[in-house]
Structures are given as structure tokens and as C-alpha cells.
Chain A
């Protein structure tokens, strides 16, 4: 199998349909297919195709073009520091790198978007090699070096075949894509829209104002948003949102505050909302809370139904899902444990580490949660301690490392605190030996990392709690913040 087939079928069957809109650029599926072939012709034997830019027309062309050339597409996070990017680049050589940033190392050959789109299109057929890798995505790296998740053609195709019907979009449908290319939802959005025949409208730099304007100008019918984006849109809209063409909003990538989704449903009563829960390692969505579930929860007076607005929904038909205790026992309804999933779209594989699936094909998501009696999944949090701020995964370790370098800091732990705007934000428990002001702490984090890493709450402690084997007890710290 090869994901290029999705674009091939779209261009053969609905070649004249509009495929992509970005600023002044408008492309049909036929034109997008030619672009992908041109990109494929530029990739050398044995080279990967890396991508370090925002979502532009060259992004879908590169995703499908890499597949046609029989190589991996490796999107990189343009928000990382130069040192972090260079470390990731070292792990993917040899590669061509599409991007405008002038970072380069040996084995990485930079090429601009305009250069790679000029030339003679490849005439080759896509390789159907068994087990071929389509995409490598770097995870946020919770305990150290970021891991590189491997997504095979067969995983991504299983996701598409399990969730999308070919050419199921009406000719007037358009989806507004705002998620960056290095996020699994950014990849899945291109694959699904292409197979459904739905026009993709790209918005590279998200602002609520730009989103609303573009949704109106392009008569957008569908959109995917992370919770923080939806929060910004409802804040900007104040009391009314005039988007008559809009029919479906899917959201995911982090915990949605109840107040945000309720406000959005009130402002857009004609829109169908779907919560999509998934991970990079599962090729995107594995659970959905559909529009009917949303309306039932919104209108119900039964607390068991009402709370489903905070649920990740039920497993999609092509996925099996179980909650097991830490000891591996199957949990009953309402019993919190670890979430395990199984299905053809689940890769559960990292480069250099092999498959993490158990002997029966189950994958541990590392999310904790429980199922209600009807199979609705409620996520309690990450089993590891990643802070998910506005869909962005933040590793506590990187913040702690920076602060530990300060002479006056004896010990420090970063944990997730609940935040209305971002879902979660950084809480900091800190032990200081000399006077270190909150301003100093925040300034240090901002200068060494990024503003999203700056703690929103700082708590002074005499010492941090540890267990007998010297492991820090983050849960205890989290609980002390909740008090």
C-alpha cells in the first residue's frame, strides 16, 4: 500500500475539483497531483524528504511526493531552537529539506519551496513495498531525547479506510486547516480531505480574526481546531459568529474546557461538533464524541449524560479499546486505569526502539482514564507527566533543567495545572536557597526556552516529596496545587 494512491484516485476521479486554497494560490486535484510528481522527481535515491515550514501548498505536495518517491516525509517543528533542530536533523540524514530557514548540517540539503516545485514531474509508479514507512514524526520527548514515531503506509491507509468514504464530500465543501504539518492532525487532515474530495483551505498563522475572516470568505464548511484555538475564536466573537456555511467542527489535541465547548455550541447552534481523540502513534483519531452525543449532553439534566461533554467519546469501529489497571487487570466501568488500543492504524513504533505493541497487538497510550457503562472514554491525564498546553506537549524536564542551572535553586518540579484558556499550563514547585524572585524565574525560562514554558503558578516549598527509591512524587505536588 502507498498513501499516494489517495491523491491518484482523487486526481483521476475528480481532477477538476478544487483541492487547495492558500492565499492567492488555488489548485485542483489534478494540479496538486502534478506538483507531487514534480517533488518526487527531486528526491534523490536513499534521501528522506524533511519539511521545515508552515502549512503552505508545498506541504501536501511534499507529503504525497515523498510517498511517490518511496521515501519518508519528516516534518520538523519550526518552533524549536536551532540546537534542537540540528539534533533532530542529524537523526534523519541524508535528506532534502524543504524550508526557508537557513539551518543546515552535513547530509541535509536545503531546498526552497519554489525550487522543488519546478522541473519535470516523475513518471514512476508509487512503490507498494510491504511495510514501507510513510511518515516519521518526532514526539515532544518527555524523558529525554524526542522519540521518532514511525507511521507506515498501512497504518495511515487503515485510518483513512476506517474513517473516510471516497469522494464523500459535496462539491461545495471546504475544510479550514490550521494545524501545523509536524502535528499528526496536520497530516491526517491532508489525507482525509484528499480522499473525501474536500477543498483544503490553509491558514498558516492562526489568529482568531484571520480564521473567522477566512471561514467567511471561503464559505468554509468544516474545520479542525485544538481547544485553545476554539477558545480564542469564541473570545473574539463575543456574542455572535456569523458563519452560515460552517457545518462541522472537529476538535482534539488536548483537553477541551467545558465552558469553551458550551459557549461554542451556543454561538454556533447549527454546527455539528465532534471531539476526536487520538495520538501520533495511532495515526490520529481512535475515539469520537459525535454531534448527537454533544447535543444530548448539552441538553440533558442527567449528570451521567451531561458529563459526556468532557468525554473523548467511543472507540471508532476499526479500533478496539480497553482500560487496564497498572497490574494489567481489565478495569470495570468507572474504574480508572491505563488506556490500551488495538487496530491496523496503530503503529506503536519508534525509530531505533522497534514496536512497543504487546504480543497480542495492544498499544499502551500512556493516557489514564475510565469508560462509563456505555463505553464513553474519559481521559484523566497523561500517565507520564507531559504538560499539554493548548495542544502543545511540554516536557517538565526541559523547564526543570533550565532552572536547576540557577545558583539559588536547590530543587524544582514542573507539573500541569488546570488552565481555562490553555487546558493545562505550567505549575512550578521550587525550593530556593537564596532570594530568587518570580520575575527571575519567569525571565530565565522565557530566555532559555519559549514563552509557553513560563510557569503560570509558582509555589515555594521547603522540600519536594520523593518516594523511597528517590523518584519525585509529581502526583503529590499536583494535588498540593489543586488544594
Chain B
């Protein structure tokens, strides 16, 4: 069962240390997974087994889908790969701005 998420929602992996925060999400039910298992709001009680191929998440990177309809910030890195509705989300290239303050 999917869930509707809103910007600012923090999700934790149930198989690794990964935590992400939704920055932009479409207003529709979504299944968000990490390491093959659905992520959950709040800290998981214990970690389960990771499934499938995983390349991990990097803290501070932004992740988006191919059409950039959604965006997540990785607030804690881990070994699992995050997917939304079964599709892996990737690191979004950052636009480098000069330091302004």
C-alpha cells in the first residue's frame, strides 16, 4: 500500500542507515523503498535484510526521478538504494552558485 507524502517528511530505511527527506513530491500514493524494503517515517526498531543490487546513498545529495517530478534530500547515507514505485532515483546534478554570505 502506498502513502501520500508531503515536503519535509523524513523517511528511514528499514535495512540500512539511510534517511531521506522529501523536498518535492507529487500528491499521489507512492511506495518508497530502500534496499528492497519499504521505508518508514521515524526510526525503525531493528534493521532487516537488504534485497537486490544496491549502490548506496550519499549524505547531502539530492535524488530525483528521470522526469524530475520529485526530489529527496539524503540526510544520512547508507548502503541501500532508494526507489520510488520500483524505479531507482538518482543523484541530481547540482548547479554550483558562488558563495553569497
Contacts and interface: CB of A to CB of B under 8 A. Distances in A.
Interface in A129-181: 130, 154, 161, 163-168, 175
Interface in B1-36: 6-10, 21, 23
Interface in A172-215: 175, 185, 188-189, 192, 196, 198
Nearest to B8: A1
Given A1-B21, A128-B10, A130-B8, A9 B99 contact: no
Nearest to B9: A128
Contacts of B49: none
B7 A284 contact: no
Given A161-B23, A165-B60, A274 B94 contact: no
Given A9-B60, A13-B59, A128 B94 contact: no
A290 B21 CA distance: 30
A248 B99 contact: yes
A163 B76 contact: no
A288 B97 contact: yes
Interface size class of B (residues with CB under 8 A): 20 to 34
A166 B101 contact: no
Nearest to B62: A161
B39 interface: no
Given A1-B8, A128-B8, A128-B10, A274 B99 contact: yes
A224 interface: yes
B73 interface: yes
A410 to B, nearest CB: 45
Interface residues of A, number: 38
Given A8-B75, A168-B96, A198-B99, 8 more contacts: A1-B7, A5-B21, A9-B75, A163-B97, A167-B59, A222-B99, A248-B98, A250-B99
Quick one: which of A9, A192, A198, A272 has the most chain B CB within 10 A? Answer: A9
Contacts of A12: 59, 76
A285 B100 contact: yes
Interface string A3-28: 00100110011000000000000000
Interface string A288-325: 10110000000000000000000000001100000000
Given A1-B7, A12-B76, A163-B100, A317 B59 contact: no
A290 B8 contact: no
A276 interface: yes
Interface of B: 6-10, 21, 23, 59-62, 73, 75-77, 94-101
Quick one: which of A1, A8, A222, A250 has the most chain B CB within 10 A? Answer: A1
Contacts of B61: 166
A5 B75 contact: yes
Nearest to B23: A161
Contact of A13 (B60, B94, B99, B101): B60
A8 B60 CA distance: 12
Contacts of A291: 98
11 contacts: A165-B94, A166-B59, A167-B59, A185-B101, A189-B101, A224-B100, A276-B101, A284-B100, A288-B97, A288-B98, A317-B95
A197 to B, nearest CB: 9
A288 to B, nearest CB: 6
Contacts of A248: 98-99
Contacts of A175: 99
B23 A224 contact: no
- Nearest 6 pairs between A and B by C-beta? A166-B60, A276-B100, A1-B8, A188-B101, A274-B98, A285-B100
Contacts of B96: 165, 168
A167 B8 contact: no
A167 B60 CA distance: 7
Nearest to A289: B98
A285 B10 CA distance: 27
A123 to B, nearest CB: 13
Nearest to B6: A130
B8 A192 contact: no
Contacts of B100: 163, 192, 224, 250, 252, 274, 276, 284-285, 288
Contacts of A252: 100-101
A30 to B, nearest CB: 15
Contacts of A189: 101
Contacts of A9: 59-60, 75-76
A161 B73 contact: yes
Contacts of A290: 97-98
A230 to B, nearest CB: 15
A12 B77 CA distance: 10
A167 B23 CA distance: 19
B101 A192 contact: yes
Nearest to A277: B100
B91 to A, nearest CB: 11
